[in-house]
Structures are given as structure tokens and as C-alpha cells.
């Protein structure tokens, strides 16, 4: 179950920027106060603006109940689709291809519209059916617009704390030779455990970091108990580290010392092999620097 919750959803926002979330982090979004503040704000706007043009056709009470019910149903269907996507990727062992977030939104929107249309037609008469169908694309675009605002401005702030459930569920630190130690990760050096680096506005313990990858305008930090995606520059993060803390083998990657196992080759290209068996590319221009750093700080 724990492995399933760590399944990466590999999403893309409307702007095609990557959204690096595990299913645990996605579910944790709904535990964050800021998420519910935003959702409440959106619901109020939808009730006031009435993009479906239903207000003049149904009683006020029925109008309010319909919107609230549709809103809750949409969120539940959206979450169910995400869980189904995570289950498929967990069973297949693959996280490709990336899923376009608006596609998931439209898949959740369709059954919500059908349920709302059927319920209102039953309660207020079939005259509402053509009205709802006529406004379907307008309502759909409105939903996508609000979700774009969420993924662009709200999600980065909420997701930065979405790794908390993983940390809370993690066992207390064990001795280095304990059988319960996290497999695939070396114990962080004592001087790394207490030091913190700032990734965007988020302070992260250096000893928690497994590897950092830069993707477009974001960095994706793989940690021992989750993944953090934050809008930041890799150069700003590397500037906070010391030479003995880790190495930047490629312009898009930084690896802490406790994650490095050896320098090797993959398909003839130089790579860093990490303690979790993953490989990181090494730029040919930095090969000698990486080799010297490993000889100095790892071997």
C-alpha cells in the first residue's frame, strides 16, 4: 500500500509544465487549508456568476443545492480518476506518457454534467436539458480556467507541504546497521542532517535529499520519503551547498554525497550510479571534475 501511494502521476499543467505528484501528495492536497479556501472561493464565484444560466430557470434553493452537489461530485470523480490512473501505473510499473491535467478535468466534468442534467431535468422539467447542453463548453472552459489558476499559483504552495504525510509515517531514525533502515539509501553524513537548504521558500534538510533535477522553471527534489516540486533555479540551490555536500554532474542535476555510489557508464555514456540503483547523466565536460570529486569525497 505504501508503494502504491508513492506512485508518481506524471501530470502536465495547461502551460505544459510538469506537475510532479505522487498519489499520496495528491490526496494530501485536500488536507491543506489553502486548497479548501480556494475551492470555496471558486464555488462562490460560480454561484454568483452562474455560467450555466440556471438561476432564472429554477428556484433559488434548488439552484444552490445543484451547484454545491455538482461541485462535490466533480471533486470526487476527479480524485477517483487520479486513483485509477495511479493504480494502472503502479500495476504496470510505468509512469509514461505524461497525462495532461485538463484531460483529467474534462473526464471528471462529463459524468458530473450528466448527473446534474438528469437530476435537474427530473426536478424542474425537461426544459432545462437544452439550456445545459447549450452552455456545456462555456462551463467546461470556466472549470479549466479555475484549475489553471490552481495549478499555476496555489498548487506549488500546497504541494511543498504534501510530503509531510510521508515524513510523519516514516519510522524513527535507526542505527546504520539496523534492518529497518530505508533500503537503497545511504545514511546521510552527520554534518548534513542538521543543515538546511532553501528550495524556493521551503527549507529542506540536506540529509533528506536524494537527488535534485531541474526541469524548465521548476526543480524536482527526490527525497527519502517523497518528492517536492518547486519553482526555483538549480543554480540558487547549488550556491547554498559546499563542495563536500555533493556534485553537479550535469547542468540539470545535483546529487548529494550520501546518494553517490560510483562513476560508471550506461550505453557508452558516463553516468553516476546512485545508492538507489538509479543513474544520473554526467556531462562530458564535467567528467574529470566528477571523477576527482568522487576520489576526494566518496572513495
Least confident of 48-62, 227-241, 252-266, 279-293: 48-62
pLDDT above 70 (res 66): yes
133 part of a folded domain: yes
DSSP string, 29-92: GGGSHHHHHHHHHHHHHHHHH-TT--TTTS-HHHHHHHHHHHHHHHHHHHHHHHHHHHHHHHHH
pLDDT band at 37 (very low <50, low <70, confident <90, very high): very high
22 and 113 part of one domain: yes
Measured in whole angstroms, the distance separating CA 157 from the mean position of its chain's CA atoms is 11
Angle value at C-alpha 34, between 156 and 157, nearest 5 degrees: 15
211 and 110 part of one domain: no
Q: What is the reported pLDDT for 71?
A: 93
Q: What is the reported pLDDT for 260?
A: 93
18 and 134 part of one domain: yes
203 and 142 part of one domain: no
172 part of a folded domain: no
293 part of a folded domain: yes
Count structural domains, the chain. Answer: 2
Write the pLDDT tens digit of every residue in 230-250.
888 898 899 889 998 999 999
How far is 226 from 156, CA to CA, in rounded Å? 15
pLDDT band at 3 (very low <50, low <70, confident <90, very high): low
8 and 150 part of one domain: yes
Q: What is the reported pLDDT for 249?
A: 92
12 part of a folded domain: yes
Q: Cell 545535483: give the residue.
A: 254
Q: How far is CA 5 from CA 81, 97, 118, 219, 242, in A?
A: 15, 19, 35, 21, 34
Write the pLDDT tens digit of every residue in 67-110.
999 999 999 999 999 999 888 887 877 766 778 888 999 899 88
**Percent with pLDDT over 90 in the chain:** 21
228 and 134 part of one domain: no
Average pLDDT over residues 253-263: 92
Average pLDDT, the chain: 79
**Percent with pLDDT over 70 in the chain:** 80
Highest mean pLDDT among 3-17, 163-177, 237-251: 237-251
286 part of a folded domain: yes
Backbone angles phi, psi at 108, to 5 degrees: -80, -30
pLDDT band at 168 (very low <50, low <70, confident <90, very high): very low
46 and 131 part of one domain: yes
23 and 70 part of one domain: yes
pLDDT band at 185 (very low <50, low <70, confident <90, very high): very low
Q: Which residue has the higher pLDDT, 238 or 1?
A: 238
pLDDT band at 181 (very low <50, low <70, confident <90, very high): very low
Average pLDDT over residues 38-49: 93
184 part of a folded domain: no
CB neighbour burial string for 28-37, b if at least 16 within 10 angstroms, e if fewer: bbeebeebee
What grid cell was written down for 34? 489553502
39 and 140 part of one domain: yes
201 and 137 part of one domain: no
CATH for 241: 2.40.50.1020
Mark which of 148, 165, 182 sits at the end of a domain. Answer: 165
Mark which of 109, 131, 165 sits at the end of a domain. Answer: 165
240 and 114 part of one domain: no
152 and 34 part of one domain: yes
Q: What is the reported pLDDT for 173?
A: 40
180 part of a folded domain: no
pLDDT above 90 (res 211): yes
pLDDT above 90 (res 254): yes
Least confident of 127-131, 212-216, 278-282: 127-131
Q: What is the reported pLDDT for 209?
A: 92
pLDDT band at 131 (very low <50, low <70, confident <90, very high): low
Average pLDDT over residues 106-130: 77
Domain residues for 195? Answer: 190-297
243 part of a folded domain: yes
What grid cell was written down for 190? 552527520
Q: Which residues contact 93 (CB under 8 A, 6 or more apart)?
A: none
Amino acid at each position: 500500500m505504501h508503494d502504491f501511494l508513492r506512485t508518481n502521476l506524471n501530470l502536465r499543467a495547461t502551460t505544459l509544465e510538469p506537475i510532479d505528484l505522487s498519489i499520496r501528495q495528491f490526496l494530501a492536497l485536500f488536507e491543506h487549508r489553502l486548497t479548501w479556501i480556494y475551492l470555496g472561493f471558486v464555488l462562490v464565484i460560480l454561484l454568483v456568476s452562474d455560467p450555466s444560466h440556471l438561476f432564472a430557470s429554477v428556484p433559488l434553493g434548488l439552484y444552490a443545492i445543484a451547484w454545491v452537489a455538482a461541485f462535490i461530485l466533480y471533486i470526487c470523480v476527479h480524485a477517483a480518476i487520479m486513483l485509477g490512473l495511479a493504480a494502472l501505473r503502479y500495476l504496470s510499473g510505468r509512469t509514461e506518457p505524461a497525462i495532461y491535467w485538463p484531460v483529467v478535468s474534462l473526464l471528471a466534468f462529463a459524468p458530473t454534467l450528466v448527473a446534474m442534467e438528469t437530476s435537474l431535468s427530473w426536478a424542474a422539467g425537461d426544459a432545462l436539458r437544452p439550456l445545459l447542453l447549450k452552455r456545456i463548453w462555456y462551463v467546461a472552459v470556466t472549470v479549466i480556467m479555475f484549475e489553471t489558476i490552481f495549478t499555476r499559483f496555489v498548487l506549488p504552495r500546497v504541494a511543498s507541504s504534501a510530503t509531510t504525510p510521508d515524513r510523519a509515517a516514516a519510522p524513527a531514525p535507526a542505527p546504520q546497521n539496523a534492518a529497518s533502515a530505508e533500503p537503497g539509501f545511504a545514511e546521510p553524513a552527520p554534518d548534513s542532517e542538521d543543515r538546511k537548504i532553501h528550495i524556493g521558500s521551503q527549507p529542506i534538510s540536506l540529509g533528506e535529499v536524494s537527488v535534485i533535477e531541474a526541469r524548465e522553471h521548476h526543480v524536482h527534489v527526490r527525497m527519502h520519503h517523497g518528492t517536492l516540486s518547486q519553482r526555483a533555479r538549480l543554480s540558487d540551490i547549488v550556491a547554498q551547498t559546499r563542495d563536500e555536500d555533493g556534485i553537479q554532474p550535469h547542468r540539470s542535476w545535483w546529487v548529494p554525497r550520501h546518494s553517490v555510489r560510483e562513476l560508471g557508464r550506461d550505453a557508452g555514456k558516463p553516468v553516476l550510479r546512485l545508492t538507489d540503483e538509479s543513474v544520473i547523466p554526467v556531462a562530458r565536460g564535467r567528467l574529470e571534475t566528477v571523477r576527482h570529486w568522487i576520489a576526494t569525497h566518496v572513495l
